[in-house]
Amino acid sequence: MKSFLDEVNRRVNGVLLQNCFHCYKCSSGCPMADAMEYNSNQMIRMAQLGQKEKLLKSSAIWLCVSCETCVTRCPNNVDIPRMIDVFREMALEEGYPPAEKGVIAFHESFLNTVKLNGRINEPIMIASYKLKTGSYFQDLVVGLKMLLKGKLSLFSPRTRNRTSVRRIFRRTSRS
Ligand code: SF4
Ligand code: SF4
């Protein structure tokens, strides 16, 4: 039977996690490290030690914003964002409830917007998230300020070939 580490490596399909020598360069550049109970270096160590349940139940795997700073800084090219995506996939497949409230609603809203437009449309994504969670007034003031400063666009452009994007979604969908 495959170990947890073997399965994560298979799904990451890149540099093996065993190549990490724990230099900590990834975590020291991570903008989310302070908010995570386990930083990227610790997550790799936990995967190496087979601490599957602890990892899949953590908030940390849902707090990564996929900025790729870690993989850019890593001397061994360990693909940490991809590794964290794998943890998320496994957590959902195996029924671990996400430790961060509303994260699935956000994830689905994000993906549905990309499926619809071929790229992200923030107002549609936010509206979809709010409908799913009922959090209509949360961040309203911040949203209005962003709109006034031109940080949110009501009319984001769409990708021309949206049929191809939908085909990718169909082919990679789990259901
Ligand atoms: S930067 Fe790379 S080698 Fe260093 S701890 Fe992070 S993943 Fe491991
Ligand atoms: S991709 Fe995730 S883990 Fe890596 S630096 Fe960004 S937030 Fe941190």
CA-nearest residue for atom 7, ligand 2, is 64
Ligand 2 centroid, distance to 73 Cα (angstroms)? 11
Whether ligand 2 lies within 6 angstroms of the CB of 40 is answered as yes
Domains of the chain, first to last: 4-93 (1.10.1060.10), 103-172 (no CATH)
| Band of pLDDT at residue 156, cut at 50, 70 and 90 | confident
Q: Which pLDDT score, from 0 to 100, does residue 121 have?
A: 86
Whether ligand 1 lies within 6 angstroms of the CB of 43 is answered as no
Whether ligand 2 lies within 6 angstroms of the CB of 80 is answered as yes
| Band of pLDDT at residue 175, cut at 50, 70 and 90 | low
Q: Which pLDDT score, from 0 to 100, does residue 56 have?
A: 96
Ligand 1 centroid, distance to 78 Cα (angstroms)? 7
Indicate the top mutation candidate among 17, 20, 32 to test ligand 2's pocket, ranked by most ligand atoms within 8 A of CB.
32
Q: How far is CA 132 from the centre of its chain?
A: 19
Mean pLDDT, all residues of the chain: 92
Cβ neighbors of 111 (< 8 A, separation 6 or more) are 169
Residue range 67-126, pLDDT digits in tens = 999 999 999 999 999 999 999 999 989 999 888 888 889 988 998 999 988 988 888 899
CA distance 73 to 146: 31
Ligand nearest to the CA of 78: 1
Ligand nearest to the CA of 81: 2
Q: Rounded to two decimals, what is the model's pTM? A: 0.81
Cβ neighbors of 24 (< 8 A, separation 6 or more) are 41
CA distance 107 to 114: 11
Whether ligand 2 lies within 6 angstroms of the CB of 65 is answered as yes
CA-nearest residue for atom 2, ligand 1, is 74
Is the model more confident about 31 or about 98?
31
Whether ligand 2 lies within 6 angstroms of the CB of 69 is answered as yes
Q: What's the average model confidence in pLDDT over 38-50?
A: 97
| Band of pLDDT at residue 159, cut at 50, 70 and 90 | confident
CA distance 115 to 171: 12
Above 60 in pLDDT, residue 164?
yes
Q: What torsion, rounded to 10 degrees, do the Cα atoms 137, 141, 146, 149 define? A: 150
